[in-house]
Amino acid sequence: NAGVTQTPKFQVLKTGQSMTLQCAQDMNHNSMYWYRQDPGMGLRLIYYSASEGTTDKGEVPNGYNVSRLNKREFSLRLESAAPSQTSVYFCASSGDTAYYNEQFFGPGTRLTVL
């Protein structure tokens, strides 16, 4: 099993460009999450999806959109990138939401917006 995979690993954008970060998990998990991590900081929740077909805002959703394409895939879209969105983005998944289980993380996408 690959666990949680993310693409791309690195990306450089110019201000105003758009892009989609892809995430997939093969653990049959219900819940999926997108976080950003800025230098010296913890993770901040952008959006999450408690189950297929549902999405909810986290702590810092402005400037982002998400799509839970199916149970496996959860994508994060930046419609018009800004330098403040330079960060490392992590996708995570967990099992049954009702038990608030451990999260499994992908390797991250390092995004730079010039």
Partner 1 sequence: SQQGEEDPQALSIQEGENATMNCSYKTSINNLQWYRQNSGRGLVHLILIRSNEREKHSGRLRVTLDTSKKSSSLLITASRAADTASYFCATVPSGTYKYIFGTGTRLKVLA
**Which positions touch partner 1 (CB under 8 A)?**
4, 31, 33, 35, 40-45, 48, 50, 56, 58-59, 90, 92, 97, 100-108
Q: How far is the CB of 34 from partner 1 (least distance, A)?
A: 12
- Residue 93 contacts by C-beta under 8 Å, 6 or more apart in sequence? 4, 25, 27, 29, 31, 32, 33, 74, 103, 104
* Cβ proximity to partner 1, 85 vs 109, nearer residue: 109
* Cβ proximity to partner 1, 28 vs 99, nearer residue: 99
* Cβ proximity to partner 1, 17 vs 55, nearer residue: 55
Which of 97, 90, 91, 2 shows the shortest CA–CA distance to 38?
Answer: 90
Which DSSP state fits 26? Answer: S
